[in-house]
Amino acid sequence: MNRRGVRGDDCVELDVRVRYAETDSMGVVYHANYLVWFEMGRSEYCRTRGFNYRDLEDAGYYLVVSEARCTYRKPARYDEVVQVRTFLHALRRRSLCFRYQVVRQGSRETLVEGETKHLCIDAAGRVKVIPDRYVAFLAQGLPIHDSHG
Amino acid sequence: MNRRGVRGDDCVELDVRVRYAETDSMGVVYHANYLVWFEMGRSEYCRTRGFNYRDLEDAGYYLVVSEARCTYRKPARYDEVVQVRTFLHALRRRSLCFRYQVVRQGSRETLVEGETKHLCIDAAGRVKVIPDRYVAFLAQGLPIHDSHG
Amino acid sequence: MNRRGVRGDDCVELDVRVRYAETDSMGVVYHANYLVWFEMGRSEYCRTRGFNYRDLEDAGYYLVVSEARCTYRKPARYDEVVQVRTFLHALRRRSLCFRYQVVRQGSRETLVEGETKHLCIDAAGRVKVIPDRYVAFLAQGLPIHDSHG
Amino acid sequence: MNRRGVRGDDCVELDVRVRYAETDSMGVVYHANYLVWFEMGRSEYCRTRGFNYRDLEDAGYYLVVSEARCTYRKPARYDEVVQVRTFLHALRRRSLCFRYQVVRQGSRETLVEGETKHLCIDAAGRVKVIPDRYVAFLAQGLPIHDSHG
């Protein structure tokens, strides 16, 4: 995953301990659960940038997932602590894109990388411009030179 | 689990094939998932008795779970088909109780037994009388001599 | 998603009824659950082609997910029945690729499209050639002109 | 839930932030997820008492759930932080029992209470005596006067 211009301090880190419920018969974390961890990463990202994603929903806006992708390199196991690193990759008027790395705590080993794209909609499902207030919060985490045009 | 008076045809049966996602590191179905299967059993129960649980929600009523219990006898594994047998055990004005058996398909082996109690509430969380229309549907599945007083 | 050469009968269809557990606060199916449905689609695919994925595991081989992607077009809701259509898109010596469409039952409306790539490994995590026996089963579903070189 | 003799310091506390994935169409945490939080509580309990549950499994022992029950009083919502309080209620030669309270962080409001019973088995599914080493760790958290006879 190529993230030109993203400085290290642009990512928000969240530690997650693997639950037994998240493992499968193969003895490793079931692959769909990484999307759940990405969601937790996004929530943490918003919180670190100054707002709760829930506030956005209370204001009538939803950042629904329009695309997701995930590359699995190495498995995680029960009781391990992994770090979910969340980056805001692109911020546009009606959409945004986050990228993620899941690394084993205390190592530089990348287990999984991923990306989610989001569309801003209202309760009726209509595409909406992300409110300025939240754009300002989110933009703090943007890589340099990446405009939200 | 003692279900006096419940005739065999009072239960509604639903086949469920175990998903990989439902297993855990121990190679068996993770215990919390049986509660999910019970929920599927309840939905099927309603459907068989003539209505969709969703209709009830659309009408502004929710049968929230107030209690759940589960006894685990034998494990189920990936790709097995199990049968979820759902019984309406008690029907009262504002609450009801379902009981469940999960049996291995093609055998009489009981894997799990359980019970859930439900309270009828409205969208504001207030306890409500279950609407007559739905009581009539549900009551068809009641054991003989069990009144809904 | 471009699937040149894939005839209609190359896909394996599986009906899935949306569980309450699969929905989220937005009132729709939580996005990670589509990956679970894809997994069910793969299991059904194998079964239709003549083997159980579990047999492959019992023989010491695992088709682990190396990549997954998903495009979300429209939401599904509680109690709806959706159809998961699974296609074998590519079959190589040590890997394969499935594609999926989730459509609303009784309509031609595509809700979600996706793809998963898999690597064949053994219990020790070493990449392995997919055993001939299973290649033969799987190859039946391949689009014309797509070799497994 | 009556826990005579359990002093306040006998419980192990774990904070859990509600994930979007854990909510359902009703806008609250789906009831089966509390069993997952209980499992996290048990893991944390073991860790606090001096061992990892994973060590026990690596030694060939499993504390499988034989019974679970849960009483739901109030709902939790997305992004809230709840505290899972885990108590060792009984410790016997081949089995043990944990109790749980889920409370809203920063309040004394109990959302959910529950109990799980566990049997010690080996990889072949045979009931086993819990190894002394782990009994010693676990017994530290026992209420006074409760022997493990």
b/e code B83-98 from CB counts within 10 Å (16+ = b): bbbbbbbbbbeebbbb
The per-residue pLDDT for range B119-128, each reduced to its tens digit, is 999 999 999 9
Q: Is the pLDDT of residue D130 over 60?
A: yes
Of C134, C147, C34, nearest to C86 (Cα)? C34
- pLDDT of D103 higher than 50: yes
Instruction: State residue D9's pLDDT score.
Output: 57
CB spacing of D39 vs A19 below 8 angstroms: yes
CA neighbours closer than 13 Å in the CB half-sphere of residue D18: 28
What mean pLDDT do residues D104-117 have?
93
Closest listed residue to residue A118, CA positions, set A142, A148, A98, A89: A98
- Find out whether B54 and B42 touch, Cβ atoms under 8 Å: no
Expressed in percent and rounded to 5, the helix, strand and coil fractions of chain B are: 25, 35, 40
Tokens of C32: 């990670």
What is the arithmetic mean of pLDDT over B15-20? 98
pTM: predicted TM-score of the whole model, two decimal places = 0.92
ipTM exceeds 0.95, yes or no: no
Please, what sign has the CA dihedral across residues B109, B112, B118, B124?
A: negative
- What mean pLDDT is predicted for residues B14-20? 98
pLDDT at D144: 58
Percent of chain A past pLDDT 70, that is, above it, reads 89
Orientation angle between helical segments A132-139 and A33-49, nearest 10 degrees:
100
- In which band, very low, low, confident or very high, does the pLDDT at C64 lie, cut at 50, 70 and 90? very high
Q: Tokens 């081989």, residue?
A: C61
Distance in angstroms (rounded) separating the CA atoms of residues C111 and C70: 11
Q: Say how far apart CA D133 and CA D51 lie, in whole Å.
A: 10
Highest mean pLDDT among B114-118, C2-6, C121-125: B114-118
Q: Is A77 on the interface with B (CB under 8 A)?
A: yes
Contact (CB, 8 A) for A73 and A110: yes
Please say if the pLDDT value at position A8 is more than 80.
no
Residue C144 lies in a domain: no
Hunting for tokens 């985490």 — which residue is that?
Answer: A141
- Say which residue the tokens 């801003």 belong to: A120
Lowest average pLDDT, out of A64-78, B46-60, C129-143, goes to C129-143
Note the pLDDT of residue B139: 87
B9 pLDDT band (50/70/90 cuts)?
Answer: low
Return mean pLDDT, chain A.
90
Q: What's the pLDDT score for residue D142?
A: 73
Task: Report the pLDDT averaged over residues D21-44.
Answer: 97
Which residues make beta-bridge pairs with C45? none
Distance, CA of B26 to chain centre: 26
Number of domains in chain D: 1
CA–CA distances in Å: residue D56 to residues A16, B3, B84, D2, D48? 22, 39, 32, 29, 15
Q: pLDDT at position A9, please?
A: 57
Domain presence at residue B144: no
Which of residues 91 through 130 in chain D touch A, CB cutoff 8 A?
none
pLDDT at D3 over 60: no
Tokens 């009551």 locate to B139
What average pLDDT does range D79-100 have in this prediction? 96
pLDDT at B8: 47
Q: Which CATH number does the domain housing residue B83 bear?
A: 3.10.129.10
In a domain, D93, yes or no: yes
* Mean pLDDT, rounded, of chain B: 90
Residues D142, D146, D147, D149, CA torsion sign? negative
From C76, which residue of chain D is nearest by alpha-carbon distance? D25
So what's the pLDDT on residue A2?
A: 34
Give the single-character DSSP code of A94: S
Look over chain C and give the mean of its residue pLDDT values, rounded to a whole number. 90
pLDDT by residue (tens digit) across C11-43?
A: 999 999 999 999 999 999 999 999 999 999 999
Residue D109 domain-assigned (yes or no): yes
Cα separation, D54 vs D48, whole angstroms = 14
Nearest CB partner across the interface for A19, out of D17, D40, D54: D40
Strands (E), chain C: 12-17, 61-72, 81-91, 95-104, 110-122
**C90-101 per-position pLDDT tens digit:** 999 999 999 999
Chain B nearest-CA residue for C51: B79
Banded model confidence at residue C9, pLDDT cuts 50, 70, 90: low
Phi, psi of C2 (to 5 degrees): -95, 115
Contact D20 C21 (CB under 8 A): no
Residue A40 structural domain: 8-139
pLDDT for residue B6? 40
Mean pLDDT of D112-139: 96
Name the pLDDT band for C56 (thresholds 50, 70, 90): very high
> Is the pLDDT reported for residue C7 higher than 60?
no
pLDDT beyond 50 at D1: no
Query: Residue C31: closest CA among chain D residues belongs to which residue?
Result: D21
Mean pLDDT across B36-52 = 96
pLDDT of residue C2: 34
Identify whether B2 is part of a domain.
no
Q: Please say whether the beta carbons of D84 and D102 come within 8 A.
A: yes
- Asked if residue A144 is part of any domain, the answer here is no
Q: Is D146 a catalytic residue?
A: no
- Cα–Cα distance measured from residue B24 to residue A20, given in angstroms and rounded to the nearest whole number: 7
Q: Which of A22, A57, A72 to mutate to test the interface with C (most CBs of C within 10 A)?
A: A72
Residue B147 resides in a domain: no
D23 touching chain C per CB within 8 A: yes
| Mean pLDDT score, D84-105 | 96
Nearest-Å Rg of the Cα atoms of chain B is 16
Question: Of B9, B10, B15, B24, which residue is the catalytic one?
Answer: B24
Structural domain includes residue C70: yes
β-bridge partners, C98: C88, C116
CA distances from B44 to B16, B64, D18 (A): 12, 16, 29
